[in-house]
Structure 1
Amino acid sequence: MTLKDRLIRLIETGGPIPVSTYMQLCLHDTAQGYYATRPGIGKDFITAPEISQIFGELIGLWLVHEWKAMGSPEEIRIVEIGPGRGALMQDALRLGMVAGGEDFAKAMRLTLVEPSPAMRDIQRDALAAAQPDFVSTLAEVPAGPMLLVANEYLDCLPARQFRRDGGSWRECVIGLDASRDLVFGLAADEQAPPEGAGETRAVVEVQTGMDLLVADLVTRDAPFRALFVDYGPSDKAPGDSLRSYKDGEQVSPLALPGESDLTVDVDFGRLARLSRKAGLDVAGPAPQGMFLLGLGAQARLNQLVKANPDDGEAMFNAAQRLIDPKDMGERFKAVCLSSSGLPAPAGF
C-alpha cells in the first residue's frame, strides 16, 4: 500500500485532514515519508553546503568563535539538526579543527539529530572521523554547553494553513473529490483569526513546531547557541507558500505524497517573538549574504581561488549564489537563538 493509499483510507475513515498532518505524514512518516525513504539532496533540491564549501567552512569558524565566547568549556556539544549527507559538518569541522586547534578538537562532541536509519548510515560514513552520536529529537541531546546548527530545517516543520472565508477564518484541509483523489478544501468549523492575520491577508500559515523547538531550547540548563539558516520573510507570516519539488521541478503538493519534497516559507518574526517571550536572546534574522560576508566569505573565497586557480571561476560563481541578493543572499536568512548572558554572536 502506498502512502497515498494510506492517506485516502485515513480521510475516508476520519474525514479531511489539516495541511499540517498531510505534511507530517508525507515528510516524516517513518515507513514511507520522504525524508525516511527518498533523501533528495542534489536531486529534488540542493542546499548551500552542496553549492559551495565556503558555507560549511564559515559555519566551522563560527562554531569555534562561539565556543571561545562561552569561555572555551572543556566539553562542547556540537549539534546539527537535519544533517543531510553530512556536507555542511564535513566542511565545518575541517576548518574548525584548524582554527580551534587541539583544545577545540578535544572539547568537541558531535551529535546529529536524524531519525532516518538510512540517512544515519550516510552521515556515519561521511563523518566517521568525528565519531558522531545520533538522536531522533532535539530533546534527546545530552545536557551541557551546546552549539546547534540547522540549515534548511525550519522550512520542513509542518504548517497549519488558515484561509479567510468571507468574514471568518477556516483551516485549510485535504479531502477527497468524487473520484477519490486528494483535493484541497476548507474545514466546516470557523476559527479565531490566526496570528499574523492582519486586515488584508487572505491566507496565513502557522508552524506549530516552532513552539516545541523553543520549549526544547528553554529547558536546557547550560549555555547554548542555536543557528538557523532558512528562507522566508523577516517580519510577517507567510501566505500560501506550500510547494513541492521532484527531480528539481515544482509539482503539485498533492501529486506525489511521500515521493516529493514539501516545503513552506519560515515565519522568522514569529520565531523571534516566541524566543524572546521565553527568555532567549535573539540575533537576526539577517540576510544570508550579509551573514556570510560578516564571517569572512570574501577572504575565504580569495584563499581558495589563489590555491586552486584552475577552479577559480566555478568557486566564485558558487559563492556568488550564496551571497548575491538576487539569488540566495536575501531570500535566505540567518537567526541565532541563545541562552541569556552571552555576548552577541558573530555575523550579526
Structure 2
Amino acid sequence: MTLKERLIRLIETGGPIPVSTYMQLCLHDTGQGYYATRPGIGKDFITAPEISQVFGELIGLWLVHEWKAMGSPEEIRIVEIGPGRGVLMQDALRLAMVAGGEDFARAMRVTLVEPAPAMREIQREALAAAQPEFAATLAEVPAGPMLLVANEYLDCLPARQFRKDGNGWRECVIGLDADGQLVFGLAADEQAAPEGAAETSAVVEVQTGLDILLADLVTRTDPFRALFVDYGPADVAPGDSLRSYKDGQQVSPLDLPGESDLTVDVDFGRLARLAKKIGLDVAGPSPQGMFLLGLGAQARLNQLVKANPDDAEAMFNAAQRLIDPKDMGERFKAICLSSTGLPTPAGF
C-alpha cells in the first residue's frame, strides 16, 4: 500500500486530518516518508552547503570561536540536525581543524541527528575521519557542552494552518473529495484566533514542532549554543506558505505524498519569543548575508579565489547567491539560541 493509499484509508476511517499530521506522515513516516526513502538534496532541492563550500567553512570557524567562548571545554559535542549528505559538516570540520588545532580535534565529539538508516550510511562514509555518532532525535544526544547546527531543518517541522472564516477561525484540514481524492478543506469547529494572527491575516501557520525543539534544549544542564539557518519572515507569522517540490519543480502538496519535499516558512519571531520565555538567550534572527559577512565570508572567498584562479568566477557567483539580498541573503535568516551566561555569538 502506498503512502497516498494509507492517507486515504486514514481519512476514510477517522475523518479529515490537520495539515500538520499530513506533513508529519509525508516527510517523516519511518517506512514511506520522504526523508526516510527519497532524500532529494541536489535533485528536488539544493541547500547552501551544496551551493558553496564557503557556507560550511564559515560554520566551522563559528564552531571553534564558540568553543573558545565556552572556555574551551575538554569535551564538546558538535551536533548537526538534518545533516543530509554530510557536506556542511565536512566543510565545517575541514576549517575547524585548522582554526582549532589539536586541542579542538581532541575535544570534539560529532553527533548527527538522523533517523533514516539509508542517510546514516551516506553520512558515516562522508565523515569517516570524524567517527560520528548518531541519534534519532535531539533528546537522545548525550549530555555535555554542545554546539548545535541545523541548516534548513526548521522548515520541515510540521505546521498547523488556520484560515479566517467570516468572523471566526477554522483549522485547515485535508479530506477527500467526491472521487475519493485528497483535497484541502476547513474543520467544522470554530476556534479562537491562533497565535500570531493579525487583523489583516487570512491564513496563519503555527509550527508546533518549535515547542518540542525548545523543550529538548531547555532541559540540557550543560552550556550550549544552537544555530539555525532557514527561510522565513523575521517578525510576522507566515500565511499559507506550504509548498512541495519534485525534481526541482513546484508541485501541488497533495499530488505526491511521500515522493516530494514539503516545506513551510519558519516563524522566527515566534521561535525567538518562545525561547526567551523559557529563559534561553537569543541572538538574531539576522539575514543570512549579514551573518556570513560577519563571519568573514569576503575574506574566505578572496583566499579561495587566489588559490583557485581558474574557478574564480564560479566560486564568486556561488558565494554571491548566499549573500546577495536579492537571492538567499535576505530571505534566509540565522538565529542562535543559547544557555545563559555566554557572550554574544559570532556573526550577530
Fold equivalence (TM over 0.5): yes
Query: In the alignment, which residue of structure 2 is the partner of 1:178?
Result: 178
Query: In the alignment, which residue of structure 1 is the partner of 2:143?
Result: 143
* Cα deviation code 1:256-297 (max 9, x no counterpart): 000000000000000000000000000000000000000000
One-letter code of the match for 1:20?
S
SS in 2 for 1:272: helix
The alignment status of 1:347 with 2:347, answered yes or no, reads: yes
- Per-residue deviation at 1:191? 1.3
Work out the number of aligned pairs and report it.
Answer: 348
Query: In the alignment, which residue of structure 1 is the partner of 2:288?
Result: 288
Can you give the 5+ residue segments of structure 1 that lack an aligned partner in the other structure? none
Aligned equivalents of 1:113 and 1:346: distance in 2? 24
Aligned equivalents of 2:209 and 2:30: distance in 1? 18
One-letter code of the match for 1:237?
A
Query: In the alignment, which residue of structure 2 is the partner of 1:299?
Result: 299
Residue correspondence of structure 1 range 1-348 to structure 2 within 5 A:
1-348=1-348
Aligned equivalents of 2:142 and 2:314: distance in 1? 40
* Cα deviation code 1:77-133 (max 9, x no counterpart): 000000000000000000000000000000000000000000000000000000000
SS in 2 for 1:335: strand
Can you give the 5+ residue segments of structure 2 that lack an aligned partner in the other structure? none
Aligned equivalents of 2:198 and 2:245: distance in 1? 30
CA RMSD of aligned residues (A): 0.3
- Per-residue deviation at 1:167? 0.6
Aligned equivalents of 2:68 and 2:188: distance in 1? 54
One-letter code of the match for 2:166?
G
One-letter code of the match for 2:334?
A
SS in 2 for 1:274: helix
* Cα deviation code 1:48-105 (max 9, x no counterpart): 0000000000000000000000000000000000000000000000000000000000
TM-score, normalised with respect to structure 1: 1.00
Aligned equivalents of 2:46 and 2:191: distance in 1? 37
- Per-residue deviation at 1:183? 0.1
TM-score, normalised with respect to structure 2: 1.00
One-letter code of the match for 1:338?
S
* Cα deviation code 1:159-214 (max 9, x no counterpart): 00000000100000000001110000000011110001111100000000100111
One-letter code of the match for 2:347?
G
In the TM superposition, structure 1's runs of 4+ consecutive aligned residues that sit over 3 Å from their partners are none
SS in 2 for 1:190: coil
One-letter code of the match for 1:22?
Y
SS in 1 for 2:335: strand
SS in 2 for 1:189: coil
One-letter code of the match for 1:245?
Y
Aligned equivalents of 1:217 and 1:189: distance in 2? 34
- Per-residue deviation at 1:17? 0.2
One-letter code of the match for 1:32?
Q
SS in 2 for 1:84: coil
One-letter code of the match for 1:288?
Q
SS in 1 for 2:188: strand
Aligned equivalents of 1:7 and 1:218: distance in 2? 34
* Cα deviation code 1:209-242 (max 9, x no counterpart): 1001111100000000000000000000000000
- Per-residue deviation at 1:19? 0.1
Identical-pair percentage: 89
Aligned equivalents of 1:155 and 1:65: distance in 2? 27
* Cα deviation code 1:293-312 (max 9, x no counterpart): 00000000000000000000
